[in-house]
Amino acid sequence: MDRITVSTIQKMKRAGEKIVMLTAYDYSTAKYADEAGADMILVGDSAAMVVMGYETTNQIGMTEMLVFTKAAANGAQRSLVVGDLPFLSYQLSVKKAVLNAGKLIQQGAGAVKLEGASDFALKAVARMTETGIPVVGHLGFTPQSVKVLGGYKVQGKSAAATLKMLEDAKKLQDAGAFAVVLEMVPEESARYITENLDIPTIGIGAGAYTSGQVLVSDDILGKYPDFAPKFSKKYADLRTVITSACADFVAEVKNGAFPTDKEAFHMPEADLQELQKLASAAE
């Protein structure tokens, strides 16, 4: 089984084959997504919400992202693992950005992702690429800028905004990004951008015409309790499955149904007799 690489992803765009990316933040979810055929596993900073229970992605840092990246990379045999650069890990200087991107690579990521196409983001993408670190861009709704964007809003709704987003995507492409995530963008804008870029677009809430799709695994599994985005789809109801399994365990411990002899270990007969002898001598 060959590992998916940056050039596999680019070939998939040229062949018109849809690219599938799923988030994972731990060993077993990454393993299952990999076995299911996901081409890319994104260790997204959405971990801030779905793993850590924070309100925004801005509350997670490199410390957590390094641990989650290592765990997910340990589970992925075939998929290309993309480590997300969290808020303030790449905005302060190009040197710091490359260092943090390199740390994610050292944990097992095959690429990194960062948000926006500001001057510093473009410089960081160019330097990372020169250093040998493949980069995925992220345009449209960029969660780390939620406070500037004034909330969770669809981006690129007008013709002018679509052209500006295409210009940004081209700048990322020229700086060396090998793919770009388009988040919460009208289907028409995402289609226009996809058709006018060489690198693949991976959509999330961007309609059907991007080169690929990415969703948050906790959303498709029905595991995250606080919010279900309109653009996602629930393929399982793990919240119910998990809560009901936990409730069954609680009930069985309370009523004595668990553990049974099947789950118990036993002493060898000779040791048991010895214990009984010692116990009666001590009485």
3-class state of residue 1 by DSSP: coil
155, 184 in Cβ contact below 8 A? yes
Helix axes 119-131, 159-175, angle to 10 degrees: 30
Question: What does the block give as tokens for 185?
Answer: 């963008």
Min dist CB 90 to ligand KIV, Å, is: 14
Half-sphere exposure of 94 (CA within 13 A, CB side): 14
What are the residues facing 106 on neighbouring strands? none
204 binds ligand KIV (CB under 6 A): yes
**How big is the chain by its Cα radius of gyration, in Å?**
24
In the region spanning residues 9 to 68, those forming contacts with ligand KIV, defined by CB under 6 A, are: 23, 42, 44-46
Rank residues 22 and 267 by Cβ distance to ligand KIV and give the closer one: 22
In the region spanning residues 100 to 119, those forming contacts with ligand KIV, defined by CB under 6 A, are: none
Rank residues 44 and 186 by Cβ distance to ligand KIV and give the closer one: 44
Min dist CB 255 to ligand KIV, Å, is: 41
# residues near ligand KIV by CB under 6 A: 12
213 binds ligand KIV (CB under 6 A): no
181 binds ligand KIV (CB under 6 A): yes
Q: Would you report the helix, strand and coil content of the chain in percent, each value rounded to 5?
A: 50, 15, 40
113, 135 in Cβ contact below 8 A? yes
Min dist CB 214 to ligand KIV, Å, is: 5
168 binds ligand KIV (CB under 6 A): no
Min dist CB 131 to ligand KIV, Å, is: 22
Rank residues 192 and 224 by Cβ distance to ligand KIV and give the closer one: 224
Task: Give the Å distances, CA to CA, from 119 to 43, 86, 114, 215.
Answer: 25, 18, 13, 28
Contact string 77-96 vs ligand KIV (x = CB under 6 A): -------x------------
Min dist CB 204 to ligand KIV, Å, is: 5
Question: What does the block give as tokens for 226?
Answer: 């606080």
> Which amino acids are annotated catalytic?
183
Rank residues 159 and 228 by Cβ distance to ligand KIV and give the closer one: 228
Half-sphere exposure of 19 (CA within 13 A, CB side): 33
194, 210 in Cβ contact below 8 A? yes
Rank residues 114 and 175 by Cβ distance to ligand KIV and give the closer one: 114
Note the residues at the interface with ligand KIV (CB under 6 A). 23, 42, 44-46, 84, 138, 181, 183, 204, 214, 216
